[in-house]
């Protein structure tokens, strides 16, 4: 697997090159476990993620992603760096200017904001178990006091507010019901791994009614953990279906 590590700002980034490139790129935006350093990344170390990388490479995709300041929780500086990474790729690599995006968990917060910046340059988007609203995520974590306190601390660091003010500040800027792009086709894959995932699936079903009314091009796919291996082919099929117009 040919890869290249490089820095933008203070953050490490990786490009994975396919053996037989077909000219399309995929920006990957990871969840809170995601990391990239000068040698490796979470997606290289995690078996499931590594298998997805290989499947996408075998399909001819050039893959790229950044550390994005670690647990950024959709902060403005993470969105700016993701945009810089896209611009760097367009300058340095031979790729179609319209990219695909895969975002997981927390990474969906960056992806949705990035769509506002790069809407004409995004071909399609896949969100895996996405966090779509920080307000909703904070509500889900309230019952788990240790994790809630940890989350509030991480949010205060990412958004540069005091821990006493961060929840109130987010309530003013973060919509509890996210608006999705009406231009970029989107697929949401939600893996029903535990009771929290089932709670989130209920929220997604409610949101899907709103999105349908708004004519947002989004499809939902609920998946049991034992069927997870089917996800790779579903993602590739979805991307291929949006490559007919260059």
Do 146 and 166 fall into the same domain?
yes
* 15, 39 Cβ separation under 8 angstroms: no
How many Cβ atoms sit within 10 Å of the Cβ of residue 75?
20
> What is the spatial distance between Cα 114 and Cα 122, in angstroms, rounded to a whole number?
9
Q: What pTM does this model have?
A: 0.94
- What residue numbers bound the domain in which 56 lies? 2-132+184-240
What pLDDT does residue 174 have? 66
Q: What are the CB-based long-range contacts (under 8 Å, 24+) for 168-173? A: 170/134, 170/135, 170/138, 171/135
Is residue 245 situated within a structural domain? no
Tally of structural domains, the chain? 2
Do 144 and 36 fall into the same domain?
no
Is residue 152 situated within a structural domain? yes
Do 51 and 148 fall into the same domain?
no
Do 124 and 147 fall into the same domain?
no
Q: Bin 63: left if φ > 0, else alpha if -120 < ψ < 50, else beta.
A: beta
Ordered alpha helix ranges (H), the chain: 42-45, 47-58, 76-92, 107-118, 134-141, 145-159, 163-173, 195-213, 231-240
DSSP state of 144: S
Q: pLDDT tens, position by position, for the chain (246 residues)?
A: 699 999 999 999 999 999 999 999 999 999 999 999 999 999 999 999 999 999 999 999 999 999 999 999 999 999 999 999 999 999 999 999 999 999 999 999 999 999 999 989 999 999 999 999 888 888 888 888 898 899 989 999 998 888 778 888 777 766 666 777 678 999 999 999 887 788 888 888 888 888 888 888 999 999 998 988 899 999 999 999 999 887
Closest CA to 181 of 230, 122, 103: 122
Is residue 94 situated within a structural domain? yes
Do 119 and 151 fall into the same domain?
no
Do 16 and 112 fall into the same domain?
yes
What pLDDT does residue 130 have? 94
Do 139 and 127 fall into the same domain?
no
* 108, 85 Cβ separation under 8 angstroms: no
Is residue 246 situated within a structural domain? no
Do 18 and 116 fall into the same domain?
yes
Query: How far is CA 194 from its chain centroid?
Result: 21
* 164, 103 Cβ separation under 8 angstroms: no
Do 124 and 196 fall into the same domain?
yes
What pLDDT does residue 176 have? 64
């Amino acid at each position: 697997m040919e890869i290249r590590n490089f820095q933008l700002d203070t953050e490490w980034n990786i490009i994975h090159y396919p053996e037989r490139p077909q000219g399309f790129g995929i920006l990957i935006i990871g969840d809170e476990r995601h990391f990239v350093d000068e040698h490796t990344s979470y997606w290289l170390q995690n078996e499931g993620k590594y298998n997805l990388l290989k499947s996408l490479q075998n399909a001819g995709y050039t893959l790229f992603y950044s550390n994005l300041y670690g647990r950024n929780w959709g902060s403005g500086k993470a969105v700016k760096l993701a945009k810089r990474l896209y611009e760097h790729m367009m300058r340095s690599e031979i790729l179609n200017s319209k990219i695909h995006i895969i975002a997981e968990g927390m990474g969906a917060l960056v992806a949705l904001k990035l769509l506002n910046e790069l809407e004409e340059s995004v071909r399609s988007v896949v969100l895996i178990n996405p966090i779509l609203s920080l307000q909703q995520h904070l509500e889900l974590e309230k019952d788990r006091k240790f994790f809630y306190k940890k989350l509030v601390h991480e949010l205060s660091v990412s958004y540069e507010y005091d821990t006493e003010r961060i929840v109130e500040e987010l309530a003013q800027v973060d919509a509890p019901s996210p608006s999705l792009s009406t231009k970029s086709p989107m697929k949401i894959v939600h893996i029903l791994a535990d009771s929290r995932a089932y709670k989130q699936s209920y929220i997604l079903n409610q949101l899907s009614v709103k999105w349908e009314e708004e004519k947002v091009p989004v499809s939902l796919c609920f998946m049991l953990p034992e069927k997870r291996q089917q996800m790779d082919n579903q993602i590739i099929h979805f991307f291929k279906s949006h490559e007919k117009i260059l």
